[in-house]
Structure 1
Amino acid sequence: MTNRNKKRIVLFLLFILPLFLYLFLSSGINNFAKLPVLSNNITDVSLIDDNKTTTLNGKISIICFLGNDIEKAKGGLFNLNQKIYKPFYGFKDFQIIALYPEEKQKEVLELKADIAAFTDMVKWKFIASSEAEIKALYDSFKTNTSLYSGYSSKAYLVDKEAALRGRIDDEDEKDGKLYGYDMTSVAVLNNKMKDDVKVVLAEYRLALKKNNADREI
């Protein structure tokens, strides 16, 4: 190999290849189908968490509302644990937050023990608060439904910027907008929520790759 060819190879590796990489990553991110934002500025759970240990900031969060009948919520929560929590809890910024009325502390302790029997609970966050505060947080989602006695059968996907994610063209919703995912339906968790969590995780991975590529150029 001549010296001239060697110089061309070095030039390619130092300048041309990083440029191609940057263009590839930028194109991939620009063309990537992001999960729609349905509501912005979700109230941070840190405002109603007495321990101030849980926040939406910088986290991909699944939020659910247990209400006054913990037994009624149990089945959906078990589904959520199996179909969503277990596949994703290994991701650094992932968490599931369960909100419940303060007077239901005993029942929730029993519920946590039941889940912990076959689950690593490290990314489960249970937060007790007043019904008024829980309702105010839920109202910040700006959904098309209301809580019933502090309970919702749906789990909600919130991104790192405290924005509610979902679908705007869902075939099972009258107006196409899917604000939350029915925890009582294994099919919904498997076929919709799991896919949508993957999309949000992929968005942040691609954004991180782009930022790294920008710094390298």
Structure 2
Amino acid sequence: MKKTLVLVVLFVLPIVVYLFFLSGTTNFGKLAVLTENIGEIPSSDDDITLNEKITVLGFLGSDINVKRTNALNLNQKIYKRFYEFNDFQFIMVVPEGTESDVAELQKELGALADTKKWHFVFMDKTKIQTFFDGLKTDVTLDENMATPLVFIIDKDRSLRGRNDDEDEQTKYGFNSSSIADLNNKMVDDVKIILAEYRLALKKNKTRREI
């Protein structure tokens, strides 16, 4: 019996563990493409771009204080966990005239994490609406040009989400006012998109070595 147990531990268990992780890896890369060819972010700063970046995109609106908690939730639950990954960034679109409020928010965020990958883009309301409409979601901005939802944009400027979500069917974005949504869904989906690109990099490296 002891020999049989040892054989199981040495040979069978590793195979089971391998198959378990293989099935988990297969699940990566299944984050649906919901909208392709989203327009580039209209920014005067050339360093702020959606191209070749994995972006968490949000619309905080003109009343920054109302969305302060949303930003802090994102900072704690998503940004601090993933910001050290290459090409990962946050972009928050805000109306012109909110610069001083945004500066205060940046100070508060900076007290909790290195905010070098938090970017704020100021636009007039017409440009915000036009840019938002390009996402082609079932979501609308409120009168302040805000939504609690944030969106994952991949390196090809495609909106990624879920088309088989158990609660919403098609899930375009994640509710930054809900800790449960951030913890239970957004963390997983950010992991998926990052794993997708890591896997692609490994494949490219292997091909070059061959």
Q: State the TM bucket, normalised to the shorter chain.
A: 0.7 to 0.9
* Counterpart position of 1:119: 113
Match of 1:202 among 195, 201, 209: 195
Identify unmatched segments of 5+ residues in structure 1.
Answer: 1-27
2:158 is equivalent to residue 163 of structure 1: yes
Residue identity opposite 2:148 in structure 1: S
In the alignment, the residues of structure 2 paired with residue 32 and residue 73 of structure 1 have an alpha-carbon distance, to the nearest angstrom, of 31
Q: Which residue in the other structure is 2:36 paired with? A: 40
Aligned equivalents of 1:71, 1:206: Cα separation in 2: 40
C-alpha distance in 2, partners of 1:194/1:117?
22
Question: One-letter code of the match for 2:146?
Answer: Y
Letter in structure 2 aligned against 1:102: E
- 1:113-140 CA-to-partner distances (Å, cap 9, x unmatched) read 1111121011111111111111111111
Shift of 1:30: 7.4
Q: Hey, which of these two has a bigger chunk of strand by percent?
A: 2
1:214 to 188, 207, 210: 207
Secondary structure of 1:191's aligned partner: helix
Corresponding residue for 1:103? 97
- 2:94 corresponds to which letter in structure 1? Y
Alpha-carbon separation, structure 2, partners of 1:29 and 1:214: 20
Paired residue type of 1:151: A
Greater fraction helix: 1
Moved over 3 A (4+): 28-33
Q: Per the alignment, in what secondary structure is the counterpart of residue 72 of structure 1? A: coil
Deviations 1:112-168 (A, max 9, x none): 111111210111111111111111111111000111121010010000000000001
Task: Name the count of aligned residue pairs.
Answer: 187
2:150/2:173 contact within 8 Å kept: yes
1:178 is the counterpart of 2:171: yes
* Conserved 8 A contact 1:29-1:207: no
CA distance in 2 between partners of 1:192 and 1:30 (Å) = 18
Find the counterpart in structure 1 of residue 146 from structure 2: 151
Aligned position for 1:189:
182
Q: Does structure 1 residue 131 correspond to structure 2 residue 101?
A: no
> 5+ unaligned residues in a row in structure 2: which ranges?
1-23
Shift of 1:32: 4.6
The one-letter code of the counterpart of 1:159 is: D
